[in-house]
Amino acid sequence: MIEQREHWGSKAGFILAAAGSAIGLGNIWKFPYIAGENGGAAFIFIYLICIALIGLPVLIAEILLGRSTQRNPVGAFKKLSGKPFWVTVGSMGVLAGFIILSFYTVIAGWSIGYIIEALRGSFSQFSDPSIASTYFDERVSDVNWIVGYHTLFSILTMGVVYAGVNKGIEKGSKIMMPVLFFLLVILVIRGVTLPGAEKGLTFLWSPDWSKISGQSVLVALGHAFFTISLGMGAMMTYGSYLSKKDHIPSAAIQIVFLDTLIALLAGIAIFTAVFAMGQDPASGPGLIFVTLPVVFAKMPGGVVWAISFFLLLTLAALTSAISLLEVVVAYFVDERKWKRHKAVMVFGLITFIIGVPSALSFNIMSDVHFFGKTWFDNADYLASNILLPGGGLFISIFVGWVWGFDKVLIELKEGSESLFVKYPLVIKGWKIFLKYLSPVMILIVFLHSVGLLESAMLQFRTNWVNISLTLTAIYLLLKGSK
């Protein structure tokens, strides 16, 4: 028997689930450190422009594709076009879901690991960043530690998706998102009331334009895609559980607003504490796993703050990971008529296995390079620099040019007629941004990625020369030993 397609119980349920997908490691781990590295306020300003002018229009397009077709990304393109090219675009989304989830669970696993480390009181010895850094390196070099937490986080993700759209994703998001918000507000209050916190706020609000380059604009746009979960059909899949009476533009604005608010609040909580404790704001990806534990060690009641922070990070990552797995599950349920439970077990397990080499990239496989990068870096690069911007580009081209804009407007009008009557200019603006600005801007990011691809190709050729030489040597050795 084919299972009935589920729908969100309420619009709030959808918004919380979609905001849950958007708010994740991208907001709390990545945004603060890339803002720290790219000049604080100046970067944030460019990022906000990218979100408003490109992220929001593409988000509306993705949700609309899902709601109109009531399908996963592959099914959606199949229903509207049927051309192999567009079906491949949908398949790329499912593939991106697989790949991102496989390494996302590794980093999210560190977060659970750090809750336990905080509970054990390990952070109290961190009198300076070098001790914290060594401690972090030791943790991630420990295969049991890293694979163990990767396993635990993967099981949690599978558990929520297994329970279904209403009882798992919607219910889970309705509980986790308010807890996340509560924890973050408490951490912000703690941060801004620390003596010396104003230096952190000054860093966040006073722009250093000299740090802005073409590269920072590309980073801002790439991050805008990642943080709103665009370009791979996660929002399309969530949109496919919406009914026609829902107002898509207002839902999209609320999702983007919540995502941006959480990123900014995370920035405030982190930088006020980092500056108050005299630490380095531009310490890169180690900002929250190395610098923050030092900050916690120096704060009164640091253990409680540390546990709250890593719990917050774990919840944020979990509500995003479930949306990644849901894309893959929805595909197998809709297109292959699998039962949800079977799809969750099989593909949860496969993504977990693909994730193991990502976990090992920090220890026993750290010297194993493909195209000049570790497995983890390749997975991140392929998803964030190629599949997501590529997906975003084709989604905006499809909705802007291929689907037929009259049909697009009829679909969008369902549930949002008042917007068409009261603010026709907004609709015109959306059309222009989606048809022209988004594809051009995304193409620029994409070409930049391809530029990097060229150097990867060079590496590939060098690798082949090395592999052929090694094989020839082995052959000669074997021949000689006979």
Residue 323 touching ligand PFF (CB under 6 A): yes
Q: Tell me which stretch binds ligand PFF (CB under 6 A): 19-27, 61-69, 116-124, 164-172.
A: 19-27
- Residue showing tokens 């479930």: 322
Q: Which is nearer to ligand PFF, 118 or 387 (CB)?
A: 387
Count residues contacting ligand PFF (CB under 6 A)? 15
CA 394 to chain centre: 19
Residue type at 367 in one-letter notation:
D
By the 10 Å C-beta count (0-12 exposed, 13-18 middle, 19+ buried), 213 is classed as exposed
Residue 24 touching ligand PFF (CB under 6 A): yes
Q: Which is nearer to ligand PFF, 217 or 263 (CB)?
A: 263
Residue 22 touching ligand PFF (CB under 6 A): yes
Name 373's bridge partners: 370
Could you tell me the CA-to-CA distances from 35 to 191, 263, 282, 441 in Å, in that order? 18, 10, 8, 20
**Which of positions 75-104 make contact with ligand PFF (CB under 6 A)?**
100
Q: Which is nearer to ligand PFF, 161 or 324 (CB)?
A: 324
Q: Which is nearer to ligand PFF, 100 or 311 (CB)?
A: 100
Neighbours of 177 (CB within 10 A): 21
Q: Are 333 and 3 in contact (CB under 8 A)?
A: yes
Q: Are 41 and 212 in contact (CB under 8 A)?
A: no
Neighbours of 469 (CB within 10 A): 10
Residue type at 286 in one-letter notation:
G
Q: Which is nearer to ligand PFF, 229 or 351 (CB)?
A: 229
Rounded Cα distance, 277 and 297, in Å: 10
Q: Which is nearer to ligand PFF, 237 or 374 (CB)?
A: 237
Q: Tell me which stretch binds ligand PFF (CB under 6 A): 21-29, 39-47, 83-91, 442-450.
A: 21-29
Could you tell me the CA-to-CA distances from 458 to 238, 303, 444, 453, 465 in Å, in that order? 39, 48, 22, 9, 11
Q: Which is nearer to ligand PFF, 24 or 281 (CB)?
A: 24
Q: Which is nearer to ligand PFF, 98 or 430 (CB)?
A: 98
Spatial CB neighbours of 169, under 8 Å, sequence gap ≥ 6: 17, 160, 161, 163, 322, 323, 326
Could you tell me the CA-to-CA distances from 430 to 245, 373, 420 in Å, in that order? 20, 39, 12
Least distance from ligand PFF to the Cβ atom of residue 86, Å: 19
Residue 227 touching ligand PFF (CB under 6 A): yes
Residue 27 touching ligand PFF (CB under 6 A): yes
Least distance from ligand PFF to the Cβ atom of residue 144, Å: 26
Out of 255, 294, 324, 399, name the contact with ligand PFF by CB under 6 A: 324
Q: Tell me which stretch binds ligand PFF (CB under 6 A): 47-55, 193-201, 225-233, 417-425.
A: 225-233
Q: Tell me which stretch binds ligand PFF (CB under 6 A): 122-130, 163-171, 228-236, 338-346.
A: 228-236
The token duo for 282 is 């531009």
Residue 234 touching ligand PFF (CB under 6 A): yes
Residue 21 touching ligand PFF (CB under 6 A): yes
Which residues in this chain contact ligand PFF in the complex, by CB under 6 A? 21-22, 24-27, 100, 226-227, 229, 232, 234, 320, 323-324
